[in-house]
Amino acid sequence: MKPVIEHHGVPFLEKKQTKLILDKSNKNDIKKILGSPLTKSKFDNDVWIYIERKQTQSNLRSLGKMKIFKNDVLVLEINNYGILKKKKFYNKEDMADIKIVQNKTGDQFRKTSFIYEFMSSMRQKMNDPLGQRAKKRSEEISQR
């Protein structure tokens, strides 16, 4: 029996992103290759984020919980002229390396903060794809 695979985002993101060339590709090229971004944000430049996530049911021992086996994120920075200036590709292993800092200072909005928050939320979804931890916490609170 073949496992059921759920796919979200842009198929073959890692392969497609190699066609994007810094200082040459523009917004139209990006949309033609990848489609519309999952998230857009405006700072000094535009930041576009694309994802590809694949998950399947794990083995019977785990009671069929969903297991993420591919979780890629592409962050593109586009200048005011619509030209690609930066691109950063993160895979599942890169997300595991993101360190969470407990101390925060100020309420300043920065491009790095936005990307960090987005990547942290993707890591949280990888670790708890069905949101079971949050559900369990709310049940514990309501029982008190």
Q: Is the pLDDT of residue 61 over 60?
A: no
- Residue 5 clears pLDDT 90, i.e. is over it: no
Of 76, 134, 124, 131, which is closest to residue 98 (Cα–Cα)?
Answer: 124
- pLDDT for 82-102, tens place per residue? 999 999 998 877 766 655 555
* Every domain of the chain and the residues it spans: 5-143
Alpha carbons 79 and 24: distance in angstroms, whole number: 11
Q: Which pLDDT score, from 0 to 100, does residue 99 have?
A: 55
At residue 140, the pLDDT reads 63
Q: Taking the model in full, what pTM does it have?
A: 0.62
How buried is residue 53: exposed, middle or buried, by Cβ count under 10 Å (0-12/13-18/19+)?
A: buried
